[in-house]
Structure 1
Amino acid sequence: MPSPVADLLSDVSAGFRSIAAPWYLFGARAAILYGVARLTADVDVTVRLPDSTTNALLVQALTRHGFTPRVPDADFVTRTRVLPFVHAATGLPLDVVLAGPGLEDQFFDRAVTREIIDGLSVPVASVEDMVVMKVLAGRPKDHEDIVAMAAAQGDALDARAVRTTLGALEAALDQRDLIPAFDEALARARRARPRL
């Protein structure tokens, strides 16, 4: 039986494909794929628009594939780089984040293809990049998600890659709390893993 999330992802994929725009799934739905037990209604994706594609063309493409904009305010999109939609067939909210240069380019390079259900595979932010995003968000629920992903992924999580990215962010943001936040979550995850 198809799921509403799979229906939404199939339609968003078709919409992005129609304008040749690469994208990836992130947020709570991606975290679930990496072992986080979480209830969430929304779906978050990041899209990189081709040079000749405007926000208006993106909206048209997604509208043709069953999405309705939730916020018609162009200033909101300019301020936040987020285009909120609702998927007509399922009623699920979709937040489309417009990628910028820099770190998000690396996230695109490292995105992996994951099978959601039989016959539907979508690009998903790597688990390491999901951890970086969660560290940056810094909310208590994000910290818990890091612990859950690290525990579920075990040794498959490349902690060194996470620290490298966080170190670059610390230097760019003049912060010194990102790597310690990750290390604390990783230590908690290791304590939570069952011993064989």
Structure 2
Amino acid sequence: MNKTNLAKILKAFHLLKIPFALAGGHAVAAWGVVRATRDIDFLADAAGELAAKLVLELKKAGFSLVFRKGDEADPLRGVIHVEMKGSADDELVDIVLGIRNMPQGIFERSLALDFLGLEIPTVAPEDMIILKCLAGGPIDLEDARSILFIMKKRLDMKYLERELKRCRISLQKLEQGR
């Protein structure tokens, strides 16, 4: 994604006062894990009318998008798939509008990091581990283990253990790769 398009998305978040943070593969990479990813993922706290306003704002900025609202069985409250066609390669951004069981205060704990020359709040490593465990896929769990291994001496282990326990996830099993 080029910086101009990214800035348009960030402007929409700021204009609507939506808490957000970089998540997914780029956040995993920010915490030291070598990781390839095709898209940019944001986690945002926008539901209902606020999500609808975000969709309108992104359309006004020239993006084509698909908005999918999550149902009761879906761990995601909703996802906005943003696409900017016409560039050298189609640029994809997924905005996840909340995740069931995500830690409270996740946006307040996010850390501002440089991404494509812009300072962007990024999901903290402890919270990224939790989100990856909640997702539960093989790549997600490997990402969680890798962040844990690389960042262990700098993590708030009491917080991480408490949150994993709340989500019924065993830190010991995660460390052992089970």
Q: Which residue number corresponds to residue 46 of structure 2?
A: 49
Task: Calculate the aligned-residue CA RMSD, in Å.
Answer: 2.6
1:63 to 52, 59, 62: 59
Distance 1:144 1:78 in 2: 26
Deviation sequence 1:157-194 (CA, Å, 0-9, x none): 22222111011222xxxxxx433333325xxxxxxxxx
Q: Of Structure 1 and Structure 2, which has the larger fraction of its residues in helix?
A: 1
Q: Higher Cα Rg: structure 1 or 2?
A: 1
Mapping of residues 1-196 of structure 1, within 5 Å? 4=1, 6-49=3-46, 53-70=49-66, 76-79=68-71, 80=76, 81-88=78-85, 89=87, 91-99=90-98, 103-118=102-117, 120-170=118-168, 177-185=169-177
**Structure 1 SS opposite 2:151:** helix
**Structure 2 SS opposite 1:35:** coil
Query: Alignment length, in residue pairs?
Result: 171
Gaps of 5+ in 2: none
Distance 2:39 2:124 in 1: 19
Distance 1:93 1:83 in 2: 10
Distance 2:101 2:148 in 1: 25
**Structure 1 SS opposite 2:46:** coil
Shift of 1:33: 0.7
**Maintained 8 Å contact 1:34/1:153:** yes
Gaps of 5+ in 1: 171-176, 186-196
Identical aligned pairs, as a percentage?
A: 24
Distance 1:20 1:50, change over 3 A: farther
Q: TM-score, normalized by length of structure 1?
A: 0.74
Moved over 6 A (4+): none
Q: Which residue number corresponds to residue 174 of structure 1?
A: none
**Maintained 8 Å contact 1:15/1:64:** no
**Maintained 8 Å contact 2:28/2:143:** yes
Deviation sequence 1:92-132 (CA, Å, 0-9, x none): 221111126863532122111111244x1011110000011
Distance 1:140 1:128, change over 3 A: same
Distance 1:56 1:143 in 2: 32
Distance 1:12 1:104 in 2: 24
**Maintained 8 Å contact 1:111/1:124:** yes
The amino acid across from 2:31 in the alignment is: Y
Distance 1:7 1:39 in 2: 22
Distance 1:159 1:65 in 2: 41
Distance 1:101 1:70 in 2: 21
Deviation sequence 1:27-46 (CA, Å, 0-9, x none): 11110111111111111112
Q: TM-score, normalized by length of structure 2?
A: 0.81
**Maintained 8 Å contact 1:86/1:92:** yes
